[in-house]
Amino acid sequence: FFDEVTGSYLKARTMAAGPTMDMQIIRALFGAFADASMALGLDEEMRAEVLAARGRLAPLQIGKHGQLQEWLEDWDDLEPEHRHLSHLWGLYPGNEISPDLTPDFAAAAERTLDLRALGGCGWSSSHKTTLWARLLRGDRAIENFNYLIAEDTLPNLFSLCGSALQVDGNFGTTAGLVEMLLQSQGEVIHFLPAMQQAWLTGSVRGIWARGGFELDFNWQDGRLLMATIFTTRGRRCRIRSAEPLRVMSDGEEIRLIIEEDDIFEFDTQAGSTYEVEILNPSDPS
Q: pLDDT for 154-174, tens place per residue? A: 998 999 988 888 888 999 999
Sheet holding 213-220, edge to edge: 202-209, 213-220, 223-231, 273-278, 245-249, 252-253
**In this predicted structure, what is the pLDDT of residue 17?**
83
CA distances from 83 to 10, 49, 177, 232 (A): 19, 37, 20, 39
Q: Please give the Cα distance from 218 to 224 (Å, whole number).
A: 6
Q: pLDDT for 126-155, tens place per residue? A: 999 999 999 999 999 999 999 999 999 999
**In this predicted structure, what is the pLDDT of residue 63?**
97
Q: Residues for the chain: how many in total? A: 285
Sheet holding 263-266, edge to edge: 182-183, 189-191, 237-240, 263-266, 257-260
Residue closest to 273 by CA, chosen among 230, 238, 221 = 230
Q: Please give the Cα distance from 218 to 212 (Å, whole number).
A: 20
**In this predicted structure, what is the pLDDT of residue 13?**
59
The residue ranges of the chain whose pLDDT is under 50 are 284
**In this predicted structure, what is the pLDDT of residue 78?**
81
**In this predicted structure, what is the pLDDT of residue 280?**
74
Which residues are CB-contacts of 190 (< 8 A; sequence separation ≥ 6)?
182, 183, 184, 239, 240
